[in-house]
Structure 1
Amino acid sequence: MSRKKQYPLRLDPIVYEALERWAADEFRSVNAHIEFLLRDALRRAGRLKPDDARRREQS
């Protein structure tokens, strides 16, 4: 089983509230939505291969 890296993240309360609403709209936790957004941004920037993203999501 793969472990996830824990990382403290400080966010502006307004940004967090917006993320919280967006995550709820997508039926995700805030943490899962942040990871989803980061993974998507990395893939679009060519920093994460689509296969790496899929393999990681399945573990």
Structure 2
Amino acid sequence: MAEEKEEEEAAGEQLLGAAREELPAPPSAQERQRLTRPPGRTVPHHTYGDPTMGPGGQ
């Protein structure tokens, strides 16, 4: 029973290691700054009051 648990843990660690390798690197400080700034413009159909969109977003 202990041997099965060790095998399961080893398989889990192997799976976790493979998943970590696929993760992208965290964004740089410059990328974070760019990603957290509001967009420079809004597409007209995404703004409230545009003739094609009502208050309910329809």
Q: TM-score normalized by structure 1?
A: 0.31
Q: 1 or 2, which has the higher helix percentage?
A: 1
Per chain length, whose mean CA-contact separation is higher, i.e. which structure has more relative contact order (CA < 8 Å, sep 6+)? 1
